[in-house]
Amino acid sequence: MSYCLLSAAPLSSTEWWPIVLPLIAGGAAIYLMLPRPRAYPVLWGAGLGLLALILAGVLLTRSGVVSPETILFWAFSAIGIASGTLLVTQNNPARAALSFTLVVLSTCGLYLLLAAPFLMAATIIIYAGAIIVTFLFVIMLAQQVGLSDADDRSREPLLATLTGFVLLGTLLFVLQRHDHRVNQSAAEIDQLIERTREVAAMKTPSAMQDGVGEPGGKDDLFRQFEQMYRDKYGWRDLAERVDRVMIAWTVTPIDAKDRGEEQLRARLSELVAIGEDAKHRLNWLPPAGTASLSHFSGAPPTTQAEQIRRDKTTGLPRMPAENAAYVGRSLFTDFLLPVELGGSLLLVATVGAIAIAFRRS
């Protein structure tokens, strides 16, 4: 499988319009809402922003399933993005600081969905608790004499919006492109797995053998699997596993009643298992080498895709339940030196902040 995200293949219209539509609406919304002396009506910007959010939710993050997890994901990301927009377009700094708190809180919700409860607590305490309060203090201390121009004007609103949204468009394009390819490959593997399941559902051994196809022929199921793994993706080990299953299939005696049928079904279910392994591999970058790396933070980067322990229902890698304990173990084994450096950095920053802000009378 090639890991180059941007190939020379031209863009198809189904690929670009789900990206461009929300981008245009969002860009127009931000441009209209940025503070300026003669402001546009708030409703225009707000309506366009809402439209962009809904379009992005429907077109970009469509997953087809509505589960508590996806609803929470949509809610947290929508709140985060909406309050981020408020932060950018708000002309009152104190309110901007509060909407930044909302961004942090919804990000913490996403952390929780991503199995990082310790990080969620730490972020709420440090960001929402400490940093924002310091910001509010400075905002109140720096009470401006009279009205200032700074909050009611923006510098080059059009160019700034364009810059941001061109960057966003590029990022989204790369992400969509990669996702599109992975989906295509997964659909191809799914098709073969479906055929295997159909064959396994057949009644008699001879029907099953017919369903698998003539050995070496064009519609030989084993050969299709093997060629896909070996030639298209370069997964030699999976192709060899398919080979082994095929040999076992050919030597399976089908004369013995019932027993032969069950054995054939077992071979086919092995084939399905290999197919599921292959699907997990699609999103997995190849291991960087064979060096033995530390296991203290979880599976090291050199782990082969099939050696990861996965959750049966979701297919995601398993994460330890005691998140704080394992993050601590990772911090004090793999990252001991960075922890020490971080501590010194905090000390130096404290000294520096006091030295800078000291008022000489």
> Taking CB under 8 A as the criterion, which residues in 224-263 touch other proteins?
none
Binding to other proteins by CB under 8 A, coded x per residue (else -) over 263-282, reads --------------------
Segment interacting with other proteins, rule: CB under 8 A, options 217-225, 249-257, 259-267, 297-305: 297-305
- ∠ CA 323-327-333, nearest 5°, is 150
Separation of alpha carbons 204 and 201, rounded Å: 9
337 binds other proteins (CB under 8 A): no
Separation of alpha carbons 101 and 127, rounded Å: 8
Separation of alpha carbons 211 and 203, rounded Å: 11
Separation of alpha carbons 314 and 198, rounded Å: 24
302 binds other proteins (CB under 8 A): no
256: left (phi over 0), alpha (psi -120 to 50) or beta: beta
Give the residue with the Cβ less far from other proteins, 26 or 205: 26
Give the residue with the Cβ less far from other proteins, 215 or 286: 286
To the nearest whole angstrom, how small is the minimum distance from the Cβ of residue 275 to other proteins?
16
Scanning residues 174 to 193, which ones bind other proteins (CB under 8 A)? 175-176, 178-179
Please name every residue paired with 317 in a beta bridge, in sequence order, or none if there are none. 310
Q: Say how many C-beta atoms besides its own lie within 10 A of residue 100's C-beta.
A: 20
Segment interacting with other proteins, rule: CB under 8 A, options 9-17, 62-70, 202-210, 243-251: 62-70
Give the residue with the Cβ less far from other proteins, 167 or 247: 167
Segment interacting with other proteins, rule: CB under 8 A, options 4-12, 135-143, 193-201, 271-279: 135-143
Separation of alpha carbons 70 and 61, rounded Å: 10
To the nearest whole angstrom, how small is the minimum distance from the Cβ of residue 70 to other proteins?
6
Given 32, 100, 229, 271, the residue binding other proteins (CB under 8 A) = 100
User: 3-state DSSP call for residue 131?
Assistant: helix
Give the residue with the Cβ less far from other proteins, 93 or 213: 93
List the structure tokens of 134. Answer: 């310091």
Scanning residues 4 to 43, which ones bind other proteins (CB under 8 A)? 30, 34, 36-38
Given 18, 73, 205, 252, the residue binding other proteins (CB under 8 A) = 73
Q: Say how many C-beta atoms besides its own lie within 10 A of residue 229's C-beta.
A: 24
Residue type, 4: C
Given 25, 29, 32, 81, the residue binding other proteins (CB under 8 A) = 81
Scanning residues 158 to 177, which ones bind other proteins (CB under 8 A)? 159-161, 163-165, 167-168, 171-172, 175-176
To the nearest whole angstrom, how small is the minimum distance from the Cβ of residue 93 to other proteins?
5
Separation of alpha carbons 319 and 173, rounded Å: 30
352 binds other proteins (CB under 8 A): yes
Residue type, 87: L
Give the residue with the Cβ less far from other proteins, 233 or 335: 335
Cα-based distances in Å from 151 to 36, 93, 327? 9, 8, 41
Residue type, 44: W
Separation of alpha carbons 221 and 209, rounded Å: 10
361 binds other proteins (CB under 8 A): no
